[in-house]
Structure 1
Amino acid sequence: MERTVVVTGASSGLGLAFLKHYAVQPLTRVIGLDISPLPASIQSLDNVLSYEIDVTSEESLAKATNDLSGRPIHLLIHSAGIRGLVPSPDPQEQNVAALETLKAMDRTTFLRTLEINTWGAFATVRSFLPSLQLAASPSPSPATAPSASPSPLSPALAPPKVIIMSSRMGSISANVAGGGYAYRASKAALNAVIKSLSIDVPGLVVLAMHPGRVETGLVGWKEEGAISPEESLGACVRVIEGVGIEGSGGFVDRFGVDIAW
């Protein structure tokens, strides 16, 4: 049985790393969504479909969901997001903290960050929910199913999953540095959305994941201590493939360790 994986934020950074990983898995169809075009080398793959989508617009999301109507979605990885920094008065200034302080933060940046990081995730999951629920449909009865045991990744053995890239900065109890107003607020709100989804949609695994401080292109330069998407990918995938329904509603790091809310 073919598995279908949807990845948002798929044109760069961690989203692109996820897309490349799943594109080489057997019997897997990958759907890449991004507001920017995917790299041509990825679009040319036979098992990859791509859509230029604005996750804040349900009308835009419908371009993909209408096209994919009737296709079960087994895994949705939501990587789309922004860092929530005010415009820098000095393009050469590479100080992230200075662009999200109490003094610097502005209304436009704050609301746009909430719109993309929180509403965008909610709108994406709700738009794909019918297809995710199709993947939760009962598998064929033993009388008609093949006698061979399915592989561990078979959709017939696992509930559909929604994995949303959150951030430790969304943890209220972990906030000992202050600042980061728009980003922290958007991720804390996102975590609340994820928890509600896990309650409102039984049978669907919904997980908030902190992938580490990943160099994703959300900032125009490399932050100190940032790791590459490839460094984060392997650990993230192990958690994604291992989490079951008992983990739904959780907030974990890329190693599967719980993060306090």
Structure 2
Amino acid sequence: MPIILITGAASGLGAAFLQAYAKDQTNTIIAIDRNEVEISNPRVQFHAVDIRSQESINTLASQLEDQPIDLAIHSAGVRGLVEAIHEQKPDDVAAAETIAAMDLETLMRAFHINAAGTFMLLRALLPNLRMSRDVKVVVMSSRMGSIGNNEHPKRAAGSAYAYRASKAAMNDIVRSFAADVPEVTFGLCHPGRVETNLVRSKEEGAISAEESINDMLPLIAKWSRKDSGKFYDRFGETIEW
């Protein structure tokens, strides 16, 4: 019976992954989110975890002691918007992440959650991951974390300082895990521009979380050790670093 851990399970991509994997009655799911969630499915264990807190992560690790994990989907993260500006202009996401708008607090929060939080969580889960064979860790990244893409002539580039930089740092952290822990497959995936609670309004061209994961699920199923440390979009195309 596969055991699947999903972070950010209360909303957005995490909730969509939870719903999809819960349909298979052979799966046992460990759902993680900062916010409390009531789940009636007996095959789903919920743990309230704040990935900004080492203490909270340590508590999770102690609760999961001797529990193997076959697949980990890490989707928890933040966009890195200057909150005061985003509140004033909820329909103008770009205004809250420009070079003029960005501040230290927003930058540090994005790095803390997206980069440091990812490192602390994955490191804490290594004993559980190593208990399983053919184990995979799939981290939701973003094309905006690609440095090469940030000068792409056909796509909008620049701005989004906290999000781009924290996702780029997270990408490199996951690459290092792939190098240091070769017995585990670590994958990075850009899910597309998805309608989630990271912003207060629906961005132009955003797709539903369900549409995004329907594209990703077959890719995740077929990824293997040869894909470890690589960066793909939801269609399986390689994204430049």
| Range into which the TM-score falls when normalised by the shorter chain | over 0.9
Over aligned residues, Cα RMSD in angstroms? 1.1
1:147 aligns to what?
Answer: none
Structure 1 partner of 2:100: 103
**SS of residue paired to 1:134:** coil
Paired position in structure 1 for 2:143: 168
Matched with 2:154 is none
Measured in 1, the distance between the counterparts of 2:85 and 2:131 equals: 49
Counterpart residue number, 1:234: 214
Match of 1:64 among 43, 60, 63: 60
**Where do residues 178-189 of structure 1 align in structure 2 (5 Å cutoff)?**
178-189=158-169
Correspondence 1:132 to 2:129: yes
* Structure 2: distance between partners of 1:241 and 1:19: 15
Residues 139 and 188 of structure 2 are in contact (CA less than 8 Å); yes or no, is this contact kept in structure 1? yes
Matching residue of 1:31: 30
Kindly provide the amino acid, as one letter, of the partner of residue 130 in structure 1.
Answer: P
Which residue number corresponds to residue 87 of structure 1?
Answer: 83
The answer to whether 1:5 aligns with 2:4 is: yes
Alpha carbons 2:47, 2:60 under 8 Å: kept: yes
Q: Is contact 1:7–1:33 with CA below 8 Å preserved after alignment?
A: yes
Gaps of 5+ in 1: 137-158
Partner of residue 204, structure 1: 184
User: The residue matched to 1:191 in structure 2 has which SS?
Assistant: helix
* Distance (Å, rounded) in 1 between the aligned partners of 2:43 and 2:59: 19
Q: More helix per residue: 1 or 2?
A: 2
Percent identical residues: 46
The C-alpha deviation readout for 1:33-81, integer Å capped at 9, x for no partner, is 000122x3xx110100101100122210223221221111000100000
Aligned partner of residue 117 in structure 2, secondary structure:
helix
Aligned partners of 1:108, 1:210: CA distance in 2, in Å? 26
Note if contact 2:135-2:184 (Cα within 8 Å) is conserved in structure 1: yes
Q: CA deviation at 1:90?
A: 6.8
Does the 8 A contact of 2:51 with 2:118 survive in 1? yes
User: Deviation of residue 110 (structure 1)?
Assistant: 0.2
Give 5+ residue unaligned stretches, structure 2: 152-156
Partner residue of 1:193?
Answer: 173
Paired position in structure 2 for 1:153: none
1-structure distance, mates of 2:166, 2:54: 19
**In 2, are the aligned partners of 1:58 and 1:127 still within 8 Å (CA)?**
no
Q: 1:135·1:160 contact (CA, 8 Å) conserved in 2?
A: yes
Confirm or deny: 8 A CA contact 1:85 1:100 kept in the other structure: yes
2:20 matched to 1:45? no
TM-score normalised by L of structure 1: 0.88
Distance (Å, rounded) in 1 between the aligned partners of 2:23 and 2:235: 23
Q: What TM-score, normalized by structure 2, do the two folds share?
A: 0.95
Contact 2:9 2:18 (C-alpha < 8 Å) held by counterparts: yes
Aligned twin of 2:204: 224
